[in-house]
Amino acid sequence: MKPAELLDKLWRDYVASTPQAERIHHLLTERGEIIRNDHVALRTFGSVGIGIDALARPFEALGWRARDHYRFADKHLRARYWQHDDEALPKVFISELVLAELSPTARSVVAGLVDQLPLDFGARPDLPTAGRPWMVTYSEYQTLLAESEYAAWVAAFGFRVNHFTVDVGTLSTFPDLEALDAFLVEHGFMLNESGGVVKGSPSERLEQSSTLADSIDVQFADRTVRIPSCYYEFARRYPLPSGELFQGFVPASADKIFESTDARR
């Protein structure tokens, strides 16, 4: 498999549960934009064999290289990103939930899901698009949601892209992120306003905004419920004093972006 094939597979899987991303993509291409992605983001549980390292393996096999680590203490997450030598390819941002920091109740729900996995599940080469590999009831989802929106999302959606992120700096018809955000609002999309629509600043070298996640019908073991799925993100990067564009992430901003899938808002 080539990187472009993997990205295409991730994109098709993502828009299947995030129709707004395809509509926005279409609106932008209609304006003549050629869309480049800044990064794709994936989530998992920090359990043995299916954590960050396991999700990264299929990307590393195609040439992505590990970069910085991040810690999101409030959300109980660890994260890292990967970058490819081909600058046209998006970075890959992978986070995992630190289970030791959850309550015994939430931990036992997650253990009940992970215990359903066959041995070596995490070694699947198609892990990033494996989907939800366990049975989960709506009450288990709600138990997790009460404590960690992230845990509930992974329980409901499993292994798939959480969001794609448009590289705003490569767009030609929008001078800045505010202009793009205004365009999206004009076309009826709802943006995540937690911490302000634009997170970050030029001095932090990164500005980001995102839509609020689409809601879709999800089949739980006992019933079907409409819950938030995935969102679409937009990032504008600024140069470092060296003149090179900053390629990392800003934890305080990412922390607020994580709330774009929050079913509790």
6, 62 contact by CB (below 8 A): yes
Question: Does the footprint of Ni ion cover residue 233 (CB under 5 A)?
Answer: yes
Distance (Å, rounded) from C-alpha 93 to C-alpha 254? 11
The correct pick among 10, 40, 41, 42 for binding Ni ion (CB under 5 A) is 41
Question: Does the footprint of Ni ion cover residue 28 (CB under 5 A)?
Answer: no
Smallest distance, Ni ion to C-beta of residue 171, A = 17
Distance (Å, rounded) from C-alpha 158 to C-alpha 171? 32
90, 35 contact by CB (below 8 A): no
Stretch that binds Ni ion, among 12-20, 161-169, 193-201, 221-229 (CB under 5 A): 161-169
Question: Does the footprint of Ni ion cover residue 166 (CB under 5 A)?
Answer: no
Question: Does the footprint of Ni ion cover residue 167 (CB under 5 A)?
Answer: no
Nearer Cβ to Ni ion (233/259): 233
85, 34 contact by CB (below 8 A): no
Q: DSSP strand E in 103-260: where?
A: 161-167, 199-201, 206-210, 215-219, 224-228, 233-237
Stretch that binds Ni ion, among 40-48, 73-81, 104-112, 179-187 (CB under 5 A): 40-48
Stretch that binds Ni ion, among 97-105, 111-119, 148-156, 157-165 (CB under 5 A): 157-165
233, 259 contact by CB (below 8 A): no
Question: Does the footprint of Ni ion cover residue 180 (CB under 5 A)?
Answer: no
Note the residues at the interface with Ni ion (CB under 5 A): 41, 165, 233
